[in-house]
């Protein structure tokens, strides 16, 4: 989550993403931050939860679909696990495009969307979007 996006103001979303960061650290799982180019850094309150954690990486993307950048990262750091737990804003844009790109390229990867860790542009569509993703083979947690 980057400051320039209005959804970053949703405190409950920030809190839920923070909980996922803490869970990943407890499990010693890698964390991959995907930041939009020229939109600032990940929110300081989330970065403070990551501070000093050696299993955190950042990739920068220039368009909604960040899967190309993530796949490039994975080519250099293949230690990532076969299950990805995804949080983020703009479920109906950035998150959707990125996870779809990943699913098309990483056939054996299980992608879990954290229900309380994503936010669509139009909040009224969240349940419909998550249902559609579930039908497409994504797991909703």
Domain residue spans in the chain?
Answer: 6-140
Packing angle, helices 96-105 and 67-76, rounded to 10: 50
Q: What is the reported pLDDT for 123?
A: 62
Q: What is the reported pLDDT for 6?
A: 80
In CATH terms, the superfamily for domain 6-140 is Isochorismatase-like (3.40.50.850)
Please report, rounded to a whole number, the percentage of residues in the chain having pLDDT higher than 70. 96
Rounded to two decimals, the pTM is: 0.90
The per-residue pLDDT for range 37-91, each reduced to its tens digit, is 999 899 999 999 999 999 999 999 999 999 999 999 998 887 667 889 999 988 9
Length of the chain: 141
């Amino acid at each position: 989550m980057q400051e320039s996006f209005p959804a970053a103001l949703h405190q409950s979303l920030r809190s839920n993403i923070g909980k996922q960061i803490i869970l990943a650290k407890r499990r010693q799982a890698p964390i991959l931050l995907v930041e939009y180019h020229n939109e600032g850094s990940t929110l300081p309150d989330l970065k403070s939860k990551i501070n000093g954690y050696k299993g955190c990486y950042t990739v920068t993307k220039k368009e909604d679909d960040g899967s190309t950048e993530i796949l490039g990262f994975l080519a250099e750091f293949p230690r990532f696990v076969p299950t990805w737990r995804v949080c983020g804003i703009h479920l109906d844009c950035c998150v959707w495009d990125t996870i779809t790109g990943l699913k098309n390229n990483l056939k054996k990867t299980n992608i879990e969307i954290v229900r309380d860790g994503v936010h669509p542009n139009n909040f009224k569509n969240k349940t419909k979007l998550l249902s559609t993703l579930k039908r497409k083979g994504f797991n909703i947690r």
